[in-house]
Chains A and B, each alone.
Chain A
Amino acid sequence: MISDALSIARKEFTDTITSKRLWLIVGVLLLFSVASTYSTIFRVITAFQQAGRPVASVFSAIATTMAYMAPLLGIALAFDAISGERERGTLRILLSRPIYREDVINGKIISALAVISLAVTLSSFAAVSISILLHNIAVTMDDIARVCLFIVFSIVFSFAYYAFSLFISTLSSKSSHSLIISIGIWIFFAFILSAISSLIATAVLGPPPVRSFQAFNMSQRQFRNFTSPSIFPQEYLDYMRREAEISSMIQAFSINYHYTQITSLLFGYATRPIEFSRRTLTSIPTVISTRLIDIVVLIVFPIVFLFASYMIFTRRQEK
């Protein structure tokens, strides 16, 4: 019954928003977001003279921080959601009430979605507002729309990690195991997979062409034309493109990759060295149509793990 799920959700929501764990993550997210805007804005404005839309560089810095912190938020909410109840023996007390098992997991999911939405929205708006004030940047309606879209994708991204960690928590009887596995997967997707993908691409393609990087001796004008064939020979650019294709194919297994693909196009920041020259922001409809597959993956990923968690939890027999 929905009323039972809502009763559990209300309690969970109260517990979470009064917990130190949540506000620590939100605080760290805010701090890193604001701090990273400093290095980014100076790099972009000074080096690339991208003064047309400096707000994009602020957003991109926040997006980079969010790419690391949003999964941690999801994991923090989910790793002990079921296993913790099991460990503490509170699941036995809950299940001895006249409720369905579905109500317990539904209540937790509803609460988590509310908390993630609240935390991501608050921290994003706070980070954007603080950065805009600090750097004295003018904001357009298009910028606001981009931030709103970014918040929606970040909520889904964080929720994807919530769903995955909930799945592990449902399977596990110990929260510590659940936490280790969830964090391990995050580290793998966030740091290790990109390194592995580059290694695999290099292994497949062989070493890059010998005559390559002359950027160290570039003039400022040459530097602005970073990817022109006069600096990078076509052979090298082809190599880099093929390397990027192979690497992307491997990283497509990571939910982080799809999130980064969407936000990078939304804010026009570089995800790979070869893309440094992007100067104009892609329009929002184009972002959505170009990154439709990434958006679908971002939505399907949590649905799959929520369904799996749901099936396991409702069918598992707890003495």
Chain B
Amino acid sequence: MDLAIEVENLVKIYGKGGSGIKALDGISMKIPKASTYGLFGPNGSGKTTLISILVGLILPTSGNAKVLGFDVVKESVEIRRRVGLLPEGFGFYDHMTALENLVFLATLDKIPSDQRKKRALETLEMVGLKDRANDKVSTFSRGMRQRLGIAQALLKDPELLIFDEPTVGIDPEGAAEFRNLVKSMNKEGKTILMSTHLLYEVGMVCTHAAVIRGGKLLVQGSVEELYQSVREAKGYRYELRVKSGIDMLLQEIRSISDVIEIKQNENHVTVLSRREIWGELLPLVSKPQFKDAVESLKPIEPSWDEIYRFYQEGG
């Protein structure tokens, strides 16, 4: 597997001596290239510290990390040359226009002088701010600043994008646009590492995810692997939308081996089973005698809230 980021037993302690705060406690992770990797955890779990180490803004206390093959301690400038970062709590020069801000940052990104303005306008267009290019940043709303933040991360057309809490402050429409942007960049083959404390975001855009808490990695893997592990532990769930007269149907479902529980709430029926029974449920509801009584049948994936709680409780 080609890796974009490889972290091994990373420890970060703020402060010295016994009073030091352990922000990262032996984290190891592997982020494949061309994945959209969601780093989920509550506030103060160590996400920003991990990201800051990955781009060389702070040094780890111990452990190793490589980003795109470069060591985070010895080759941080090379990493930042190839990585677009949207840091948490960033800001812009308010007295300058959006375009001036981006052209200045493009200079530091070593983009050739004849391409800076063009590239800045391209990224502004990508985030829907091209018509505000010549407006001072002081006139921007929080959501617009966040979008401008995404634009500055895209300036150097990086191989790897790291977004720290990217949708904070963006309205739902803007957040949806951001997720679409992430998906399209991922389709182009870019690797995206995205930290968030919003569970649903992970499920919406990520191909891989990790749960971090108290500086420790609780779990990591592909989104499907995480779903599967929770399903195996907590059971498989299916939802039927039904009309009246389904007693016979429920009786037949109950007879399927490993069905643990059937709950009916008016015209909703939830079936919980120890194993995958989709192959048995579908033919059953398709039978002529039940066909009219069942409006729909679908499997219910574990929610990210459940996944988080599951791993928080020890997996």
> For window 267-318 of chain A, which residues contact chain B by CB distance below 8 Å?
317-318
Residue of A nearest to B153 (CB): A96
Known: A318-B57, A319-B52. A97 touches B109 (CB 8 A): yes
A48 at interface, CB cutoff 8 A: no
Check A98 against B109 for contact (C-beta < 8 Å).
yes
1/0 per residue, CB under 8 A from B, across A63-94: the answer is 00000000000000000000000001110111
> For window 126-162 of chain A, which residues contact chain B by CB distance below 8 Å?
none
B175 at interface, CB cutoff 8 A: no
Chain B residues lying within 8 Å of A7, measured Cβ to Cβ, are 104, 107-108
Identify B77's interface contact among A15, A88, A100, CB under 8 A. A100
How far, in whole Å, are A317 and B59 apart by their CA atoms in the complex? Answer: 7
Q: How many residues of B contact A (CB 8 A)?
A: 29
A241 at interface, CB cutoff 8 A: no
How far, in whole Å, are A99 and B91 apart by their CA atoms in the complex? Answer: 18
A139 CB, nearest partner CB in chain B, Å: 41
Identify A93's interface contact among B59, B78, B87, B107, CB under 8 A. B87
A318 CB, nearest partner CB in chain B, Å: 6
How far, in whole Å, are A88 and B110 apart by their CA atoms in the complex? Answer: 24
The secondary-structure label for the interface of chain A is helix
> For window 78-101 of chain B, which residues contact chain A by CB distance below 8 Å?
78, 80-81, 85, 87-95
A11 at interface, CB cutoff 8 A: yes
Chain A residues lying within 8 Å of B90, measured Cβ to Cβ, are 89-90, 92-93
Q: How many residues of A contact B (CB 8 A)?
A: 20
Check B57 against A97 for contact (C-beta < 8 Å).
no
> For window 31-89 of chain B, which residues contact chain A by CB distance below 8 Å?
48-49, 52, 55, 57-59, 77-78, 80-81, 85, 87-89
Chain A residues lying within 8 Å of B55, measured Cβ to Cβ, are 96
A91 CB, nearest partner CB in chain B, Å: 9
Residue of A nearest to B55 (CB): A96
Residue of A nearest to B156 (CB): A98
Chain A residues lying within 8 Å of B89, measured Cβ to Cβ, are 89, 92
How far, in whole Å, are A170 and B152 apart by their CA atoms in the complex? Answer: 25
Check A96 against B85 for contact (C-beta < 8 Å).
yes
Check B57 against A95 for contact (C-beta < 8 Å).
yes
- Which of B48, B89, B91 counts the most A-chain CB atoms under 10 A from its CB? B91
Check A317 against B80 for contact (C-beta < 8 Å).
no
A186 CB, nearest partner CB in chain B, Å: 26
Identify B91's interface contact among A11, A93, A317, CB under 8 A. A93
Check B105 against A97 for contact (C-beta < 8 Å).
yes
How far, in whole Å, are A315 and B57 apart by their CA atoms in the complex? Answer: 10
Check B91 against A96 for contact (C-beta < 8 Å).
no
Residue of A nearest to B145 (CB): A89
Identify A89's interface contact among B52, B81, B91, B107, CB under 8 A. B91
Check A98 against B81 for contact (C-beta < 8 Å).
yes
Residue of B nearest to A93 (CB): B90
Give me 15 A-to-B residue pairs in the complex whose CB atoms sit less than 8 angstroms apart, sorted by A's number: A8-B108, A90-B90, A92-B87, A92-B89, A92-B90, A93-B90, A93-B92, A93-B152, A96-B80, A97-B108, A97-B109, A98-B110, A99-B77, A317-B52, A317-B59
- Beyond A93-B149, A98-B108: 18 further Cβ-contacts under 8 Å? A88-B91, A89-B87, A89-B89, A92-B57, A92-B89, A92-B90, A93-B87, A93-B152, A96-B55, A96-B80, A97-B109, A98-B77, A99-B108, A317-B57, A318-B52, A318-B57, A318-B58, A319-B58
